[in-house]
Structure 1
């Protein structure tokens, strides 16, 4: 089976197109004599149109045989058949002269920085079979073909990831009778999805229109594409319902991706006719209703992605035991009710199961242990009960790396187990927002591979236990919004992955089976993409910030706000040069602000408000970029940063009443500093006069 690489925004994929085998297995035989002068001239004309040639000029010497030039392939009769110049650093416009290569079959200019329009001569070529200009900066509309244009041999056209605009009119595809695969994804095409693809190109098997600006409803005519294998129109502005006709005729369909649109209505019962369907993506739409039992007939399904819709009813309508090949089931953010159907546990090849954000209830079934390959399980934000039983059952899922079960088990107690068997591979654990009573449990110390731990928004009491040091790979700790007490333990300052800037996650950095969402618009696809975070905010911690805080040189976000911390801001905190967020607000901190905080050049979030700090605000650095609200609630603080900027706008020394007006507008001002500044300003002004 021959493969051809197609891509859409951010995700590469390989399309398997059996019918293209003869197209892509182009003979690569070394020539026995030189190419023609006409073909050489066409190549040199193309080269002359480039503003950056990526070193081609050094290879393409006029006096040499162009069949020996980089990226050029000829057949035995010296006719050029392939021009393969992907990822060569090319910039500039593409000359229509390439259309003069009468034997050219395969033209690949992908992954460069080419711009301008797509020459008509390439689209209307009488020889090109495969044309790939993806991942460039081409723009404008596609060329219009005349009504008299004969059928072209073009079989594969990849124009994805450019800046093409305009609509898909019938004249743009005149003559494309032999087209088998079209990837127009990640452009700026508008208008409706054309109905004529199936008539113009009856052999079309791959159609990717995703990540554009198509609008209107899905045309019923797409159901006439009897040879369609892959249909992608996700992330446009499509609306309306999915027509039954789409499923009636496209019985060969293996991939249907309509996610990221405004589609409404139910999943048609006719979906059951897609016996070869492997991927179903209807995520991020406005679809509703119950899932039809006919989904059970799609026995080859590998991926079902229905997240972020309004689907409802019980999942028991679908007999999942028929879906033996199912690996990913993502139903995040819907309105499904009832219990998790037992038939799901018959999907023995399941690797990722996400049921979060629904209205499911009951207890976990012991049968979940049958999912031996399960690595990703997300059950958060439902109404599941009995966390002790849940953890006991989940121990048998030995391959789990991600377990997200927060916002369930409302008002229960954190299991006080000393040890749990299993979870040897667990990297991410979220039991936040339940709210659970009790203490940070000892059994977590056995999770030797844990990297991300979220226990926030519970009712946990007691101190941070000494066993936390056993988690050698932990780099994300979120225990905010609990009732934890005691001092901030110095053992937290010895966390290896927060101390070393070069220490990355120790395990295989493969993608999560499904993205982990921190918010609807923020997702993480690999564990090490999580920022390095220490969040102890909204608790009852007392004492001083440990001086050893300066050891955490890799931390990006440090939040100790809303506690009862005392003492000074330690000078060592200025060593944390990677900090993006520092929040020490709403404590009882005293003393001056360390001037070296100004050197934390990456700070984008900073708050030390509502403490008892004193003295001037350091000026002339990063702290100048934050609003007064970052310093409010410290009556002994002062600073002339904002006042200086205002006074410098005067073309004469300000009068006393003007100074009083300025003082009344600024909260953070030292009167003595202002007077000294004004005196110096007046002296300077007088001397300049």
Structure 2
């Protein structure tokens, strides 16, 4: 090997291991992360760099070659036609930085090849179709997370031993090949996030199928009754396609199924057609954003192992059944954007679900009264509660104060009245609070500035809930753990009065602070400059006066800023993030001056403004933000990506 090939670099947490001998596996480079015990001294681990020497690939003695999880670069060269047959059975080059087209003839000398894993690289071009012609025992082809394009290769029906075909997250296109349905040995078919078209007719031939993942494509048509022939099926992922029709009754025959993910399609009809009680192993059902009608089928409550149920974004109605309490392991329940009724009944039923950690029931119960019932207790493990968009009347209820583990509270877009209750800071783990678009009154309570998780994260990992299903907000940002959600305090579009308390600067962990569209007065506190992690600050449409504090220039991560339609005066701070904000951030403050405004500092008077005040614009939709990463190693943070934030959550 040349010095430029397979050179270990002392970086990262990988290791190189080589084993030689006269039989068995002659070279193995597992390079997997190595976890050290806390009592062991930390040592640096090597990462391989350079190219992959062709001598290794055409070796006459190597059975298994695994160089995964390194930083190998370059392409894979075609082996000469004169290359002798190799005994290699496993080739794993995944998670490197390989580029270029994939070899098409090299595999002809690998007649013993069983497994090929080239996932998580940057290979391009078409996927070759020669594996099975050369290697009759070929069983595993893993090419996910590359840049392959073109059609699924023809000739797959020659792969009589193929058990796994995975090529998700590429650029594959064309019609979903009928030849795949002839590979009856397939157990795992994973082609998500491509541009494949076609339908599932012909699926009945894949009777050995355990995992079927075609999510994120353009698959159309319905789920055929033949799905019931796949009695070994455990995972069904057809999310983000354009499928339609009713769910077939034969789906009940998939008695081994564990996960059903059909979110974001055009399915319709009543769910009662499927007998879920036959699916004793079912753990997750995700039917988000379809057009299902009727009530929740009672048979779902027989799925005793169910841990996650999402029916949001459909046309379901009725009341929640008491039988849902049979789901002892239910941790994630999302029923938002339907037409369910009787919120008091729903909460009384759900309060005994001791494992329930995520409850999203917003955009239901239209015009009902927010239950303020001391009998509503329980919810011992609840971390996220969404009751937004219901137009509920009443006050922020006392029973919420007993949700000791609550991290997220969304009560926005209701008709709640009265003040923010004084017990709010007793929710010691709360870091996301949105009560915007209500009729709340009173001053901003000092207790709000004492919220522990907004002052300091403390041991946040102790409460780091993993969502059983990915949680989305309206711009389709996705969150897997609750503490990856940004910290938010949103009181906008209410009737709060008085001043912004200077103690607000104690909330140093805040990412979003939105007090817009209220009746606040006084000055902008200088202490807001202490909230150094702030990404969005919106104080627009109030009665604030005085200067914009120069201390706000300390907010180096601030990506969105709005103080329009107040009575502010003096110069706009210069430098830092303030150089990135346009005139619209300051509209309606005729006594402000600055380089981005019509009125430059030092001019005699402000010329008449021709820009419409934001009060004249339909600005009822909250100002928002989508969050990009702060840092990539060695690269400075540039700018926060602006979008709307958490208008809805599912």
- The two structures have a TM-score, normalised by structure 1, of 0.82
CA displacement at 1:53 relative to structure 2:
2.2
* Bigger shift: residues 94-103 or 133-142: 94-103
Superposed, 1:166-245 pairs within 5 Å as 166-171=125-130, 174-199=133-158, 201-244=159-202
C-alpha contact (below 8 Å) 1:461/1:484 kept by paired residues: yes
Deviations 1:374-401 (A, max 9, x none): 0000000000000000001111211100
Tell me how far apart the structure 1 counterparts of residues 115 and 261 of structure 2 sit (CA, whole Å).
Answer: 28
Residue 78 to residue 624, structure 1, CA distance change in 2 (3 Å): closer
Selected match of 1:247 from 204, 208, 217: 204
Tell me if structure 1 keeps the 8 A contact 2:548–2:572. yes
Q: Take 1:189 and 1:124, find their aligned partners in 2: how far apart are those partners?
A: 29
Structure 1 CA distance, aligned partners of 2:416 and 2:605? Answer: 47
Cα deviation for residue 502 of structure 1 reads 4.5
C-alpha distance in 2 between matches for 1:78 and 1:315: 54
Query: What displacement does 1:243 show?
Result: 2.5
Equivalent in the alignment of 1:72: 18
SS in 2 for 1:72: coil
Closer, same or farther in 2 for the Cα pair 1:560/1:190, shift >3 Å? Answer: same
- Larger deviation, residues 448-457 vs 419-428: 419-428
* SS of residue matched to 1:515: strand
Secondary structure in structure 1 of the residue aligned to 2:73: strand
Match of 2:91 in 1: 131
Residue of structure 1 in register with 2:306 after alignment: 350
Q: Indicate the residue corresponding to 1:96 in structure 2.
A: 54
Are the aligned partners of 1:218 and 1:243 in contact in 2 as well (CA < 8 Å)? no
Cα RMSD of the aligned pairs, angstroms, is 2.1
Q: Tell me the CA shift for residue 183 of structure 1.
A: 0.3
1:371 paired residue number: 327
2:440 to 475, 484, 492: 484
Deviation per CA, 1:47-95: give whole Å up to 9, x if none: 5424x52259xxxxxxxxxxxx951112356983434445642222111
- Check the 8 A contact 1:82/1:105 in 2, yes or no: no
Most deviating of 310-319 and 189-198: 189-198
Aligned to 1:400: 356
Please identify the structure whose Cα radius of gyration is greater. 1
In structure 2, the partner of 1:580 is 535
User: Within 1, Cα distance between the matches of 2:573 and 2:530?
Assistant: 17
Partner of 2:582: 627
1:480–1:83 Cα change, 3 Å: closer
Quick one: which of 468, 483, 486 aligns to 1:528? 483
**Secondary structure, counterpart of 2:545 in structure 1:** strand
1:278 to 221, 234, 237: 234
Residue 142 of structure 1 contacts residue 172 of structure 1 at CA under 8 Å; is this kept in 2?
no
Show the counterpart of 1:637.
592
Displacement, 1:158?
0.4
Distance 1:55 1:495, change over 3 A: closer
Residue 164 in structure 1 maps to residue 96 in structure 2: no
5 Å-filtered alignment, 1:413-452, equals: 413-452=369-408
1:463 to 414, 419, 426: 419
Q: Write the distance in 2 (CA, Å) between the matches of 1:183 and 1:70.
A: 23
CA contact (8 A) 2:26 2:64 kept: no
Give CA-to-partner distance per residue, 1:632-682, whole Å, 9 cap, x none.
11011112x248xxxxxxxxxxxxxxxxxxxxxx245540599xxxxxxxx
- Structure-2 change in CA distance of 1:579 and 1:151 (3 Å): closer
Aligned partners of 1:83 and 1:578: how far apart in 2?
A: 42
Task: Note the C-alpha offset of 1:617.
Answer: 1.1
- The alpha-carbon deviation at position 144 of structure 1 amounts to 2.2
Q: Distance in 1 between matches of 2:125 and 2:219?
A: 23
| 1:82 paired to 2:28 | yes
Distance 2:536 2:25 in 1: 62
Distance 2:295 2:154 in 1: 42
Distance apart, 1:175 and its partner CA = 1.0
Provide closer, same or farther for how the CA distance between residues 505 and 559 of structure 1 changes in structure 2, counting only shifts above 3 A: farther
* One of 603, 620, 632 as aligned partner of 1:671: 603
Structure 1: how far apart are the matches of 2:218 and 2:184?
Answer: 26
Match of 1:539 in 2: 494
User: Within 1, Cα distance between the matches of 2:371 and 2:29?
Assistant: 65
Once residues 157 and 172 of structure 1 are traced to their aligned partners in structure 2, the CA distance between those partners, rounded to angstroms, is 9
Alignment correspondent of 1:513: 468
Cα distance in 1 for partners of 2:571, 2:10 equals 58
2:218 counterpart (236, 259, 262): 262
- Please tell me whether the aligned partners of residues 455 and 479 of structure 1 are also in contact (alpha carbons under 8 angstroms): yes
Paired residues for 1:291-330 under 5 Å: 291-330=247-286
Of the three residues 272, 277, 288, the one matched with 1:332 is 288
Q: Partners in 1 of 2:383 and 2:29 — Cα distance?
A: 47
Question: Is the contact between residue 79 and residue 106 of structure 2 (CA under 8 Å) also seen in structure 1?
Answer: no
* Partner SS for 1:294: helix
Instruction: Pick the aligned partner of 2:570 from 612, 615, 621.
Output: 615
Residue 140 to residue 488, structure 1, CA distance change in 2 (3 Å): same
> For 1:587 and 1:309, how far apart are their aligned partners in 2?
43
CA shift, 1:112, in A, is 1.5
- Contact 1:90/1:113 (<8 A) preserved: yes
Which 5+ residue runs of structure 1 have no aligned equivalent? Answer: 1-43, 57-68, 644-665, 675-689
The number of equivalent residue pairs is 589
What CA distance in whole angstroms lies between the structure 2 residues aligned with 1:636 and 1:48? 65
CA–CA distance in structure 2, aligned partners of residues 257 and 72 of structure 1: 36
Q: 1:590 to 1:170 in 2, by over 3 A?
A: same
Q: Which residue of 1 aligns with 2:245?
A: 289
Indicate conservation of the 8 Å contact 1:146/1:174, yes or no.
no
What is the deviation of 1:168? 2.4
| Residue 38 (structure 1) aligns with | none
Match of 1:604 in 2: 559
Distance in 2 separating the partners of 1:86 and 1:306: 34
- TM-score using structure 2 length: 0.87
Q: 1:270 aligns to what SS in structure 2?
A: helix
